[in-house]
């Protein structure tokens, strides 16, 4: 009984219904870069083109993480900061990084970036609700 409940929760990403996430969660940073300057429009466009939001969802693949990996909101390892001017704003806290996905975590891949280097995945992390992030 306990084993059945564990498997139900642990492998729940494989049964998720793929829905279109909020547009802001599929797109790219609108804030500042590590240089504390705004993201240039041409760099944002490059990331947006890599996302291929018009093709979401492009796949539905059950997977297991084969190594510990960081998860990101956008398909880039470059950091971004929302508000660098307000006290307690995001500066020093890279808002692109979301969670650590641990080895052996069940994932549902629902989208692949244009450059095929990033997978948009759903997973169940540490008892939290499912969330969507890019992981590459």
CA neighbor of 116 nearest in space, from 64, 23, 70, 52: 52
Quick one: which H or E segment has residue 5? helix 2-10
Length of the chain: 136
Separation of alpha carbons 97 and 114, rounded Å: 20
Separation of alpha carbons 74 and 99, rounded Å: 13
Q: Using a cut of 0.75, tell me whether the model's pTM lies above it.
A: yes
CA 72 to chain centre: 4
Cβ neighbours of residue 97 closer than 8 Å, sequence gap 6 or more: 70, 71, 72, 79
Taking only the tens of pLDDT, the chain with its 136 residues reads 788 998 888 898 888 877 766 555 555 566 788 877 888 889 888 888 888 888 888 899 999 999 898 888 788 888 888 777 776 666 677 877 878 889 999 998 888 889 998 888 888 764 444 466 665 5
What is the structure's pLDDT at 114?
92
Parallel, antiparallel, or unpaired: how do β-strands 106-112 and 131-135 relate?
unpaired
What is the structure's pLDDT at 22?
55
């Amino acid at each position: 009984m306990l084993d059945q409940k564990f498997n139900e929760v642990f492998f729940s990403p494989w049964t998720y219904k793929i829905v279109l996430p909020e547009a802001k969660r599929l797109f790219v940073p609108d804030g500042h870069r590590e240089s504390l300057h705004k993201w240039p429009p041409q760099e944002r466009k490059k990331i947006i083109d890599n996302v291929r939001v018009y093709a979401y969802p492009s796949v539905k693949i059950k997977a297991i993480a084969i190594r510990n990996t960081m998860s990101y909101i956008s398909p880039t390892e470059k950091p971004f900061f929302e508000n660098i001017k307000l006290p307690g704003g995001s500066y020093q806290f890279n808002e692109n990084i979301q969670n650590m996905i641990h080895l052996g975590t069940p994932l549902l891949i629902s989208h692949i970036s244009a450059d095929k280097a990033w997978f948009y995945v759903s997973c169940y992390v540490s008892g939290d609700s499912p969330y969507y992030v890019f992981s590459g």
